[in-house]
Chains A and B, each alone.
Chain A
Amino acid sequence: MAVNSEKKGKWSSEAVLDLYSKLLTEIWETVSALIGESILEFLFNLAVQKLKGKHPFLLTLKVSEEGISLDEMKGTCQGKPPLEIHRGFQSLVTHLFDLFSAFTEGVISRELFPKVLPKVREAERMIAHK
């Protein structure tokens, strides 16, 4: 039973991480085509720095001009409650959207919403079912 729940927990964390990995990659691809990798890298890191106090695990998110990598995070987040991971990423995505809106008003959001919103909903559904 203990093995099962551990397995189940691990699977859930991984699933949430996989989901957000896809979502962040989507954000990266869409927004970098609009404002370039370097500015986007800066905005991602700015958002992570802003949220690191509340969600320290976000510091293991690697952002460079090449893109986003969750490899390190996947190692350090083993056993972390999926809900906590979800909340952290939710804050990150919200903060990024706030930054995009402040800088470009609706221009980035208009491109991004149709692609990203279904994935956010999927994450919320997954967490709600759990």
Chain B
Amino acid sequence: MRLVVKNLNILRSIINAISTSFEIKEIVAAAGMHLPNLFQFSSFGLLWKEGPSLYLFQEKSCPASFTQEVVRNMVKIYSLLGEEPIDPKQISLHMEKRRVNPKLIATTASGSLKSHLTLPLAIEDEIMGCLSINSDRPNAFDAQDLQFFSVIGYQMAATLKHFQRFRSIKNIAIYDTLTGLHNRRYFEERLGLEGQKAFSASTPLSLVMVDIDHFKKVNDTFGHTEGDKVLREISSALKTSVRKKDIVARYGGEEFILILPEANLEDSYQIAERIRRLVENTPFEIGNVRLSLTVSLGISNFPNHQPESKEDLVEMADQALYDAKRSGRNRVCIFQRDAEKQNDYKEEDPCEALVES
């Protein structure tokens, strides 16, 4: 009786630890830390079909061959669930190696997988993967272990369901549904963070504001459905032209904005010019017609333009975009203060100055 109460208390702690986790890795680690109080095992794993990924919490003395056996076994069992088979080579492995059970004699270098308990991980009638506890000892698990493991499996599935819902709500909150780019709200949040980072580390930060030239004509002539198609194609051109660390967002209508962390003026000009050229050279199929479209771009930069706030930096990029539009469209302009502009206009086109330099 005392043993049952003890085990139930352990189970409660595990469930509590799982349900307060926010990421798959955390969920596996939380369960893995507590599971040795219930049963002895060499590794505990969660195979997640998205990715696909395998999260393993494993006794640190287990050899690599043991890990490979666990991977193969989980993939084999997953394939029995009527799902698309997973190629073990495609799996990204996230492993946490620990002394799982100090009382156990460490697994020898030749230790191989001798027994396991595996359960499907079903979330809202969809199989998302499977869970497994593995041992290098034969017949390591009994019916009671299976009962406890299934309760833990249900809790993990429930937590992952909440996690998935949370993620989809988060996606709705940060992505623009039409283009798949980040939305303005996310841009503003992110600009705040990147601005703080740039200010405290004294690293450069650039913004590029992009606007499709004569987009209203496209909408008026071909309709909004075709206009939306153009927005999506330009969005994909923007995504392919930036670096991994850059953030591309839809600012509103046919306007987009790029946050380029650690990019000085020259870097940002190169990226903006790459975008301009890519759009200029891309034929757009609109209705039954092939059209050429162009974009105008405005750049602002910290610390070059000495913005006093993030709003200032946006305002400067917007001003530069306005200059690009005013000076003929299909060009990249860098922010200039009014006084600088007057001098520049007399001498040369400010937008071309950096290209020449």
Q: Chain A: residues with CB nearer than 8 A to chain B?
A: 33-36, 38-39, 42-43, 46, 49-50, 99, 102-108, 110-111
Would A35 and B119 count as touching, CB distance under 8 A?
A: yes
User: Considering only CB atoms and an 8 Å cut-off, how many residues of chain B contact the other chain?
Assistant: 24
Interface majority SS (helix, strand, loop, mixed), chain B:
mixed
Q: Which of B17-25, B77-85, B300-308, B348-356 contacts A (4 or more CB under 8 A)?
A: B77-85
Considering only CB atoms, which chain B residue lies closest to A107 in the complex? Answer: B146
CB of A33, distance to nearest CB on chain B (Å): 7
Would B77 and A102 count as touching, CB distance under 8 A?
A: yes
Identify A102's interface contact among B80, B146, B153, CB under 8 A: B80
Would B119 and A39 count as touching, CB distance under 8 A?
A: yes
Q: For residue B147, which residues in chain A have a CB less than 8 angstroms away from its CB?
A: 33-34
CB of B33, distance to nearest CB on chain A (Å): 23
Q: For residue B150, which residues in chain A have a CB less than 8 angstroms away from its CB?
A: 34-36, 39
CB of A124, distance to nearest CB on chain B (Å): 27
With A33-B147, A46-B82 already in contact, the answer to whether A105 and B120 are too (CB < 8 A) is no
Would A103 and B77 count as touching, CB distance under 8 A?
A: yes
Would B143 and A111 count as touching, CB distance under 8 A?
A: yes
CA–CA, A49 to B83, complex, Å?
A: 13
Would A104 and B117 count as touching, CB distance under 8 A?
A: yes
Other A-B pairs beyond A33-B147, A34-B146, 13, CB < 8 Å? A34-B147, A35-B146, A35-B150, A42-B120, A42-B122, A46-B82, A102-B76, A102-B118, A103-B118, A105-B115, A105-B141, A108-B146, A110-B143
Identify B116's interface contact among A34, A39, A105, A110, CB under 8 A: A105
Per-position binary interface string of chain B over residues 99-123, scored 1 when its CB falls under 8 Å from any chain A CB and 0 otherwise:
0000000000000000111111010
Q: Which of B52-104 contact A (CB under 8 A)?
A: 76-77, 80-82
Considering only CB atoms, which chain A residue lies closest to B157 in the complex? Answer: A38
Report if B163 contacts A (CB, 8 A).
no
Would B154 and A107 count as touching, CB distance under 8 A?
A: no
Q: For residue A50, which residues in chain B have a CB less than 8 angstroms away from its CB?
A: 82
CB of B138, distance to nearest CB on chain A (Å): 9
CB of B158, distance to nearest CB on chain A (Å): 11
Identify A103's interface contact among B119, B151, B154, CB under 8 A: B119
Name the residue in A33, A49, A102, A111 with the highest tally of chain B Cβ atoms < 10 Å from its Cβ. A102
CA–CA, A99 to B81, complex, Å?
A: 9
Report if B139 contacts A (CB, 8 A).
yes
CA–CA, A33 to B143, complex, Å?
A: 10
21 chain-A/chain-B pairs, Cβ below 8 angstroms: A33-B147, A34-B147, A36-B153, A38-B122, A39-B150, A43-B120, A49-B82, A99-B80, A102-B77, A103-B117, A103-B119, A104-B118, A104-B146, A105-B139, A105-B141, A107-B117, A107-B141, A107-B143, A107-B145, A108-B146, A111-B143
Identify B143's interface contact among A34, A46, A102, A103, CB under 8 A: A34
Report if B50 contacts A (CB, 8 A).
no
